[in-house]
Amino acid sequence: MKTILYPFLIVLITLNLNAQENDLNGSWSGKLKLPNGIQLTIVFNIQNSDGKYSATLDSPDQGAKGIPCGEVKVTSDSIDIDVPVIVGSYQGKINSVAKTISGIWSQGGSSFELNLEYTEEFAGPNRPQEPKPPFPYDSEDVKFFNEKDSITLAGTFTYPKEGEKFPAVILISGSGAQNRDEEIFNHKPFLVISDYLTKDGFAVLRFDDRGFGESEGDHSLATTFDFAEDVRAAVKFLMSRKEVDKNKIGLIGHSEGAMIASIVASADNNIAFIVLMAGPGLPGDSILYLQTELIYKAEGQSEEKIQEIINGVREVYSILKSDYSESEMKEKLKVKYRQQFEKISDEEKQRYGDLNTYMEMEIRIATSPWFRTFLKFDPRPFIEKIKCPVLAINGEKDLQVPPKQNLPAIEEALKRGGNKNFLIKELAGLNHLFQTSQYGTIIEYGVIEETISPIALETMLNWLKGIVK
């Protein structure tokens, strides 16, 4: 699923130093207090060169770094920073003795308290689950070849130091170009899962998506079916490894990765088991309608506004799913996006730029091979053909792949196909990333220190050990 980044920040700046006694060099960090109770870490990185300041803004919890700031004005006791890229600004009072700034962040017509403290260098968000070397198992950087598309993929293969013929799993990431750790919002969930399973006797292969990290290929031109070919190449690689029990190779896919796992397992008898983590059980457009409604509702939008948004989305999707020629499709999309642009606020228009920039950006995303394929993709025919054991888990608070609609659809498809060896579980209190979550909103992902709930890890491990025993 496409993760939605909230545009909270930065640009290269120039500022006149009106008060030489203020030494603002360094990082100034604080918590942006949002109305839903979430506190978002914000960092201004300020440098002074020849009496002029330059600065960038980081939002570590959202994985945003180096956002440029506009004009910065400094007086004897105050600072005013403009951030035009995201239509935001910060005004604060400087306490030179305590090295603090008390102020207000303004954006999109709203204002929030943001008090900053000085540090020479911000250490970054805390990720207590992230394993650090040396590891108590063998870890190899490996490469394998996708013969169908003639690309080399790169990843990491881990396996226990003692023993041989281990059961093995391939980790398959969700949508968007991601590295082998499925790194997102400064979390590395696949690193955590790999470490956890390898310590308990499994060999694990995780790899960079094509066209990302050290893997070859063009991610922008690839579809879900192309990514399935990459996984088939990964299976072939594991079949060649002496450390692996060739009869116990399985797949663990997260979000779109679960769709990919279903495609591969539906046609490959070498797959011994699969785990679907937040896997869609409904067609792509249905997922996106549900996702849009739930995310906007969680953000406090009115029902009227949500329905207006969904109706606009539905009109766009109907064009994308049609049989129009490429040129006809783009012309019809331009009409729709022009209408949508006219309805958005002045602040949003500033963020997107002019109408043509907005339309070009939206059309490029909407008409990409991946998006058009995802809209039409129905996972159920593939799930029906899966004969190996299946574990399907979802977080109760998942707003991107809602469990109440998707888990039953997966279960029904498995039953229609005659598969009797499956377990369907909704995990209480967890979000789309399987973190322990209060709201399930995307803005929480980076704020939460937990990378993946121990409950999710234990659920997978206990099921896997029962399957491969």
Minimum mean pLDDT range among 21-30, 140-149, 253-262 = 21-30
pLDDT digits (tens, 9 = 90+) for 46-61: 888 777 777 899 998 8
**How many percent of the chain have pLDDT more than 90?**
75
Under the banding of pLDDT at 50, 70 and 90, the label for residue 382 is: very high
Residue 18, pLDDT score: 35
Nearest to 284 by CA among 371, 402, 207: 371
Cα dist from 208 to 173, 190, 243, 271, whole Å: 9, 11, 22, 21
Q: Where are the beta strands (DSSP E) in 4-63?
A: 15-17, 26-33, 39-49, 52-59
pLDDT at 3 over 60: no
Report the C-alpha gap between 243 and 439 in whole angstroms.
42
- Residues 376-402, mean pLDDT to the nearest whole number: 98
Matching fold, domains 15-119 and 137-283+377-468: no
pLDDT digits (tens, 9 = 90+) for 406-449: 999 999 999 999 999 999 999 999 999 999 999 999 989 999 99
Residue 13, pLDDT score: 28
pLDDT at 346 over 80: no
pLDDT digits (tens, 9 = 90+) for 132-163: 999 999 999 999 999 999 999 999 999 999 98
Torsions phi, psi for 66 (to 5 deg): 75, 30
Residue 181, pLDDT score: 98
The angle that helices 284-298 and 369-376 make with each other, rounded to 10 degrees, is 100
pLDDT at 77 over 90: no
- Residues 322-350, mean pLDDT to the nearest whole number: 87
pLDDT at 15 over 90: no
Domain 15-119 part of CATH 2.40.290.10 = no
Identify which has the larger pLDDT, 121 or 117: 117
Nearest to 43 by CA among 106, 121, 98: 121
- Residues 227-250, mean pLDDT to the nearest whole number: 98
Residue 216, pLDDT score: 98
pLDDT at 26 over 70: yes
Report the C-alpha gap between 141 and 55 in whole angstroms.
37
- Residues 333-360, mean pLDDT to the nearest whole number: 82
Nearest to 276 by CA among 417, 379, 194: 379
pLDDT at 343 over 90: no
The two beta strands, 244-254 and 166-172, are parallel
Residue 145 CB neighbour total at 10 angstroms? 14
Q: What CATH number does domain 137-283+377-468 carry, 3.40.50.1820, 3.40.605.10, 3.40.50.1000, 3.80.10.10?
A: 3.40.50.1820
Tell me the pTM: 0.86
Residue 376, pLDDT score: 94
Residue 118, pLDDT score: 93
- Residues 303-330, mean pLDDT to the nearest whole number: 92
Instruction: Tell me the DSSP string of 270-304.
Output: TEEEEEEES---S-HHHHHHHHHHHHHHHTT--HH
pLDDT digits (tens, 9 = 90+) for 234-245: 999 999 999 999
Residue 6, pLDDT score: 37
pLDDT at 85 over 60: yes
Identify which has the larger pLDDT, 331 or 3: 331
Under the banding of pLDDT at 50, 70 and 90, the label for residue 261 is: very high
pLDDT at 131 over 70: yes
Residue 445, pLDDT score: 95
Report the C-alpha gap between 345 and 348 in whole angstroms.
5
Under the banding of pLDDT at 50, 70 and 90, the label for residue 10 is: very low
Q: Please list, in sequence order, all residues whose beta carbon lies within 8 angstroms of the beta carbon of residue 445, skipping any fewer than 6 positions away.
A: 3, 61, 184, 185, 187, 431, 432, 433, 435
Q: Is 204 helix (H, G, I), strand (E, B) or coil?
A: strand
pLDDT at 403 over 80: yes
pLDDT at 173 over 50: yes
Q: What six digits make up the tokens of 259?
A: 């769709």
Under the banding of pLDDT at 50, 70 and 90, the label for residue 4 is: very low
Identify which has the larger pLDDT, 198 or 299: 198
Mean pLDDT, rounded, of the chain = 91
Q: Which helix (H) or strand (E) holds 235?
A: helix 224-239
- Residues 50-73, mean pLDDT to the nearest whole number: 86
Domains of the chain, by residue range, sit at: 15-119, 137-283+377-468, 285-375
Under the banding of pLDDT at 50, 70 and 90, the label for residue 22 is: low
